[in-house]
Amino acid sequence: MAVEGSLDLQKLPEVLQLIAQQKKTGILTVQGMQDIIAVTFLNGQIVAADALNQTVEEGLAQVLVGERLLTAADFARAAAEHETAGGRLLDLLVERSYIARPDLLRGLRLQTFRLLEQLLRWEKGDFKFYSGDEVPFEDGFHPIAVDELLYPGTGPGTGPAPLRSVPPAPYREETAEDYPRVTPEPSARPTLRVVRREGEPPAPVRAVSGAMPGAVTADPEATSPFRQMKVEKPQGAPLAFLPWLAATGLALILGAALLSRPEALILPFPWQSRERADLAQDQRASLYLKIDRAAKTYFLLEGHFPANLTVLQKAGLLAGSDLSDPQGHAFRYTATEESYSLQPLVGDQPIAGTETSEAITGNFLLDPEFLNVPTESTSPPLVLLD
């Protein structure tokens, strides 16, 4: 199952079920044709859902008014108050006694459910799951099981045992003592709960809620999953970087082998040393043929072999890579009046069995002796005497 993908290839129920089965914590974002929805998971259960084109407050308003938990007029009044007072609208609704918190949470759950139902109707889009150790969600929110979403009739009371409003053991709710530097404002209600597994060291959490130092007011965006969470990774096994380092080393060495000993890449086994030598010899033979043609072309034009191979490279008859053998060894080139020799070197030492030499002998265009046309014979003629 892919962490990211397309709804064309993988159906959303499968993705949700996989996350639930693996009890993952993180945020699943689904980008549809006209909207983006983020679903927050905590241990495989859904604890929040947000849409880009609709704020939580807007969706919640529709649900609360529709379920007659709140009148439209009351909501409008609360919204107006929220604009002047600031803070979270949800907190203001409870504080001003427009609605009781349990009703608010039920409404929020219903709004989440409806958003998820809307999401399940999407047929096109891309999804991506961001795993994390901590996720933001409304305190007291009754998580929604994926089965409950996918199989109607398995809701609370009819299916699996109702979920508790606090995370079950072995999870432990953190308190302020775990973060002594965090001093919540008395007026600010902690809106997020951080949970972690027993035995895990506390991960420093930054910019999670309005209770954190430095935040003047509770930022409604602070609970939005569209905000990136910054969480330091928990400590892993010692020397965990070793496989990564070894893999990098292997990649570098493979690249070096490609440049210095390409025959070792395609004939890698230790018992293939002869085949590697043969291949290298054939590669050298093709290079020698090319150099020979270039050198003899130079001789054709200039009447002598070049002083060095660089002259041939500058003339365009050879490439720069032709000035060393296929294994990267530089050539020792020596030229005489009628011949030249080439030998690859390792340092200053020639490599035995790899040298070549060519001459103009036997070339009718270059060898002046080749076409010696016999002149008239100077020997006395044979006279037959009667």
Partner 1 sequence: MSRRPARALRLAVTAAFLAAAAIPATPALAAAPPAGGVSSPQVTGVELTAPVRRGLKQVEEQWLQWVVQNSKQGSEGVVQDLLATAHQLGMVRLPDLSIGALDRAVQAARQGDFNRAHWALDAAERLDPGRCETAFAEASVDRLEGHAVRSLGDLLRGYLRLFGLPLERYLWMQDMLVWSVSLLLLSGGLFIAVQMAVKGKALWEDLLELFSRRLPRPAALAVAAAVLLWPLLLPSGLLWLPLFWSVLLWGYSSVSERAVLVTLWLLVGLAPILITSQSRRVAVMLSPPVQAMESLRQHRLYGGLFTDLGVLRSLLPESAAVKHLLADVHRSLNQWDLAQSLYRQVLEQEPANTYAEMNLGAYAYIKGDFGSAIQHFQKVVAADPKSAAALFNLSQAYSDSYLFDDSRRSLAQARAIDDTQVDRWMRELSQQRIVTNNRGITRIPEIRDELQANFRAHEAPSARLELFRRWLSPVVPLVLALLAVALQLAGRPLGSSSEAASDSLRFHSNNRWRRILLPGAGAAESGEGLGGFFAVLLPVALIMLPLFGRLGYRLPWGYDPGSSVAWIVAILGLTLYLGVRLRMELRNDI
Residue 336 interacting with partner 1 (CB under 8 A): no
Provide, rounded to whole angstroms, the least separation between the CB of residue 16 and partner 1: 13
Q: Where are the alpha helices (DSSP H) in 67-212?
A: 72-85, 89-95, 101-120, 146-150
Contact stretch for partner 1 (CB under 8 A) within 109-117, 164-172, 198-206, 259-267: 259-267
Residue 362 interacting with partner 1 (CB under 8 A): yes
- What does the alpha-carbon distance between residue 263 and residue 307 come to, in Å, rounded to a whole number? 31
Query: Quick one: how far is CA 63 from the chain centroid?
Result: 41
CB atoms within 10 A of CB 193: 21
Provide, rounded to whole angstroms, the least separation between the CB of residue 31 and partner 1: 8
Pick the binder of partner 1 from 270, 347, 380, 381 (CB under 8 A). 270
Provide, rounded to whole angstroms, the least separation between the CB of residue 379 and partner 1: 12
Provide, rounded to whole angstroms, the least separation between the CB of residue 250 and partner 1: 5
Pick the binder of partner 1 from 33, 73, 169, 237 (CB under 8 A). 237
Pick the binder of partner 1 from 91, 134, 138, 358 (CB under 8 A). 358
Nearest to 27 by CA among 4, 59, 61, 56: 4
Residue 243 interacting with partner 1 (CB under 8 A): yes
Residue 304 interacting with partner 1 (CB under 8 A): no
Beta bridge partners of 130: 27
Provide, rounded to whole angstroms, the least separation between the CB of residue 2 and partner 1: 4
Instruction: Name which of 175 and 228 has its Cβ closer to partner 1.
Output: 228
Residue 283 interacting with partner 1 (CB under 8 A): yes
Instruction: Name which of 290 and 304 has its Cβ closer to partner 1.
Output: 290
Instruction: Name which of 180 and 374 has its Cβ closer to partner 1.
Output: 374
Residue 238 interacting with partner 1 (CB under 8 A): yes
Residue 307 interacting with partner 1 (CB under 8 A): no
Site residues for partner 1, 5-24, by CB under 8 A, read 5, 18-19, 22, 24
Provide, rounded to whole angstroms, the least separation between the CB of residue 19 and partner 1: 8
12-21 in b/e form (b: 16+ CB < 10 A) is beebbbbbbe
- What does the alpha-carbon distance between residue 54 and residue 35 come to, in Å, rounded to a whole number? 9
Provide, rounded to whole angstroms, the least separation between the CB of residue 324 and partner 1: 10
The helix or strand, by DSSP H or E, that contains position 273, with its residue range, turns out to be: helix 273-302
Instruction: Name which of 103 and 126 has its Cβ closer to partner 1.
Output: 126
Residue 318 interacting with partner 1 (CB under 8 A): yes
Residues 6+ apart with CB under 8 A from 308: 333
Site residues for partner 1, 119-178, by CB under 8 A, read 126, 128-132
Report how many residues bind partner 1 under the rule CB under 8 A. 93
Beta strand pairing call for 195-196 and 331-335 = unpaired
Quick one: 25 exposed, middle or buried, by C-beta within 10 A (0-12, 13-18, 19+)? buried
Alpha-carbon distance values, 108 to 116, 133, 137 (Å): 12, 23, 11
Residue 248 interacting with partner 1 (CB under 8 A): yes
Residues 6+ apart with CB under 8 A from 205: 134, 179, 194, 212, 231
Binding-site string for partner 1 from residue 206 to residue 235, where x marks contact by CB under 8 A and - marks none: --------------------x---------
Q: Is the dihedral of CA 146, 147, 153, 155 positive or negative?
A: negative
Alpha-carbon distance values, 252 to 2, 65, 208, 241, 249 (Å): 29, 64, 42, 17, 5
